[in-house]
Amino acid sequence: MSAAEIECIDVRKVYRKDRIAIPVLDGLNLRIAAGEFVTLMGPSGSGKSTLLHLIGGLDSPTGGSVRVGDAQLERMSERELTAWRSRHVGFIFQMYHLVPVLTAAQNVELPLLLFKMSAAERRERVATALKIVGLSDRTDHRPNQLSGGQEQRVAIARALVTDPDVILADEPTGDLDARTSEEILTLLNLLNTEFGKTILMVTHDPKAAAHGQRTIHLEKGVLERDEVMPRKTVAAASA
């Protein structure tokens, strides 16, 4: 069980399109404590996903610094970031992005191929991850044999299986109905409360944001509001 603190200082990100500079993040400062569940909200183009990508080491800031645990990301090379991601970050995407030709268990096992461990240990970890997300009985199902909610659970298990410090979720319930969304959010709550994972989740849905401890509102690349949410326990969420 591990978690990491996240710190962004004066983070700027400018995209260039056809020689035109498009500022997305403009001197953002943010600190997320280890083990916190924070949601990111804001209108389209406010920089939510960009911030998530910078914290996940998928992109580099134009200026400022991003620290996750002991890793100062802006100083790391592409190769170092790739290796760091495999050990410290778990991603959950809106569209799941499972490999369609592999079973649920094989999809969950994929990130473990980057680790030196025995097949038996890999199998054990996969079984545990699938058990946590409640899919022990779907291990041999392929993505096209699963519902949307089940696919997202597999994606969560895949993000969880390497025991990362941080879980980054980009609108994980954006493609799901209300009931299934609630189940997924409850699961994320569980990962946060029971396993102590630091979770940063992008969402447009205020109900989804209510599952976090804090909601950060972004507007035009700057932090507009940092709101502490009333804590929703796993038990309450389940009820």
Partner 1 sequence: MNLRLLYLARNLTRNRIRTALTCAAVALPIIIYVLSTAVVEGYEEFLEQAARELRLAVTQRTSIINPLPAGHRPKIESLDPTGARLVAVCGMRWIGGRIENDPRPLSTLAVDADTFPTSFPEYLRSPDEREAWVRDKQALIIGRGVAGQFGWKKGDRVTIVPSVPPYTPMEFHVVSTSEEASDPLTNWFRRDYLEEELRKSGAPEGLVSFFFIKCGSKADLDHFRVAIDALFARSPDETKTQDEKTFMNEYVTQQFNLPRNLRILAAVTVFVAVMAAANTMSMNFRDRISEYATLKSMGFSGGIVFTMIQSESLLTCAAGGIAGAAVPYVLFTHTPMKNFTVPLIQHLDIAPAVCGQAVLIALAIGLLAGAWPSWLAVRLHVVTALRSLE
Q: Which residues of the chain form contacts with partner 1 (CB under 8 A)? A: 53, 56, 58-59, 79, 82-87, 91, 93-95, 97, 99-102, 106, 109-111, 113-114, 158
CB of 160 to partner 1, least distance (A): 12
Report the residue number, 101 or 235, with the smaller CB distance to partner 1: 101
Give the residue with the Cβ less far from partner 1, 171 or 182.
171
Nearer to partner 1, 99 or 235 (CB): 99
In the β-sheet with 37-41, what is the strand arrangement from edge to edge?
89-93, 166-170, 198-202, 37-41, 214-219, 222-228
Choose among 237, 211, 209, 239: nearest CA to 225: 209
Structure tokens at 62: 């134009």
Which residue bears the tokens 């461990």?
A: 117
Find the angle CA(43)-CA(46)-CA(50) to the nearest 5 degrees.
Answer: 125
Least distance (Å) between residue 22 CB and partner 1: 13
- C-beta of 58: minimal distance to partner 1 in Å? 5
Q: Smallest distance from the beta carbon of 112 to partner 1, in angstroms?
A: 9
The smaller minimum CB distance to partner 1, of residues 80 and 226, is found at 80
- Count of CB atoms situated within 10 Å of the CB of 235: 10
- Determine how β-strand 71-72 pairs with β-strand 63-68: antiparallel
Min. distance of Cβ 236 from partner 1 in angstroms?
Answer: 32
Tokens matching residue 20: 């035109």
Which CB sits closer to partner 1, 86 or 186? Answer: 86
By residue count, the chain amounts to: 239
Closer to partner 1 at the Cβ: 13 or 211? 13
Beta carbon of residue 16, minimum distance to partner 1 (angstroms, whole number):
12
Beta carbons of 135 and 151 less than 8 angstroms apart? no
Cα-to-chain-centroid distance, residue 32: 14
